[in-house]
Amino acid sequence: MRRLSIYTDGASKGNPGDAGVGVVISDENGVIIHEIAEYIGKTTNNVAEYTALIYGLKAAHELGAVQVDICTDSELLARQLTGVYKVKSPNLKPLFEKIVAALRVFERATVTHVMREFNKRADELANEGVKKHRQKARNNSLNIAAPPEKQHKLDF
């Protein structure tokens, strides 16, 4: 029986703004076996938190998990998944439903709210996802100027 721990985090620079997800998956011995750092577009931090968990559940399933222990520093996500809080946001409801459906493939799942300091690597990965996108966008913007022979002087 394969039991994996999934640490997730979402980051949004601007809220809403450029957002990324970070996921760390470890085995029963605490050995990291998979990491994810992805840019997910412009969205809110809560959507990023939910999306990170979706990525994590998919990866854990692909890695053969039968049981999962979910650790998140998002109090909102943890409390909504455990039924303490209702999901009221129309942006989160479809993501919540997707997570609930994904959880059904596992024999057992636990959700734990962890303090940020115990979720540092997932946080680093979420920020890395945003950073990679911003660097790529910056590099692309450097190449948009026309060559000197095609440039025209503007007369005002």
Identify whether 154 is part of a domain.
no
CATH number at residue 55: 3.30.420.10
- Number of structural domains (the chain) is 1
Taking 80 as the threshold, does the pLDDT of residue 156 lie above it? Answer: no
For residue 137, what pLDDT is reported? 77
What pLDDT is attached to residue 129? Answer: 96
For residue 91, the Cα-to-chain-centroid distance in whole angstroms is 15
Residue 53 maps to a domain: yes
Residue at 23 is within a domain = yes
Average pLDDT score over the chain: 92
pLDDT at 147 over 60: no
Boundaries of domain holding 47: 3-131
Residue 140 falls inside a structural domain? no
Q: Which helix (H) or strand (E) holds 52?
A: helix 45-62
Element (H, E) at 132: helix 120-141
Digit-coded pLDDT (tens) for 40-67? 999 999 999 999 999 999 999 999 999 9
Within a domain: 107: yes
Q: Give the phi and the psi of residue 146 in degrees, each rounded to 5.
A: -70, 150
User: Is residue 30 a part of any domain in this protein?
Assistant: yes
Residue 92 located in a structural domain: yes
SS (H, E, C) the chain: CCEEEEEEEEEEECCCEEEEEEEEEECCCCCEEEEEEEEEEEECHHHHHHHHHHHHHHHHHHCCCCEEEEEECCHHHHHHHCCCCCCCCCCCHHHHHHHHHHHCCCCEEEEEECCHHHCHHHHHHHHHHHHHHHHHHHHHHCCCCCCHHHCCCCCC
Domain membership flag for residue 151: no
Q: Which of 101, 9, 24 is nearest to 60 (CA)?
A: 24
Q: What is the pLDDT of residue 152?
A: 44
The answer, as to whether pTM is greater than 0.85, is yes
